[in-house]
Amino acid sequence: IISISISTISIFLIYKISKKFIKNKYALFVAALFAFDPSLIENSVLGIREPIFLLFGLIAVYYGIHKNEKFIFLAFAFAGLAFDTKIAGIAIPIFLCAFILLKFKSFNKKIKFVSIGIIIFLIVASPYIILTFEQGGIPFIWILTNSMNYLETNNISPSTYSEPNESLG
């Protein structure tokens, strides 16, 4: 029930984000496409971590494109939470940094916002990074090598790869 509720909230966020770029009726269509996506429904019913990852990622994007520039810091915090959920969340702060570089004209403002944002991201994502070091690994590296070995030995496509519910070691 929690996973389905999280996915439902994500539908509204997709609508709010779409509304900033396209007309309302098209934004509603985009939200409907997202809502009736079979993989979203399946992931919500199975109770895996994909819905919470999508929610955190969408919140980060929503705050990243918000007009108030102070919300960018919240975007980096939610990007850190998304990264804690799935390693694919590393793409979100990259998007946010690119957005900052395009949004602001002043070089000093760009450096300030990117620096503070990355610090916030690292603080929020620190549990994942610290836990990996404590278990004798290097963040990001072990996931990439384990995933590639798994895909090579089991001969499956990356889109059907299911992450095990094991600890980070």
pLDDT in tens, 32-61: 988 888 777 777 777 778 888 888 999 999
Give kind and range of the element (H or E) at residue 10. helix 2-19
Decide which of 9 and 144 is more confident.
Answer: 9
pLDDT of residue 158: 47
pLDDT for res 62? 92
pLDDT of residue 67: 83
Q: Give phi and psi for 42, each to the nearest 5.
A: -65, -45
- Structure confidence at residue 74 (pLDDT): 93
Full-model pTM: 0.73
- In contact, 54 and 71? CB cutoff 8 Å: no
Q: Of 44-48, 65-69, 101-105, 150-154, where does mean pLDDT reach its minimum?
A: 150-154
150 HSE (CA, 13 A, CB side): 13
Residue-wise pLDDT for 91-149, tens only, equals 899 999 999 888 888 889 889 999 999 999 989 988 877 776 666 666 655 555 555 55
Distance CA 105, CA 80 (A): 26
Cα–Cα distance for residue pair 122/72, rounded to 1 Å: 15
Listed in sequence order, the residues at least 6 apart from 99 whose beta carbon sits closer than 8 Å to its beta carbon are 64, 65, 72
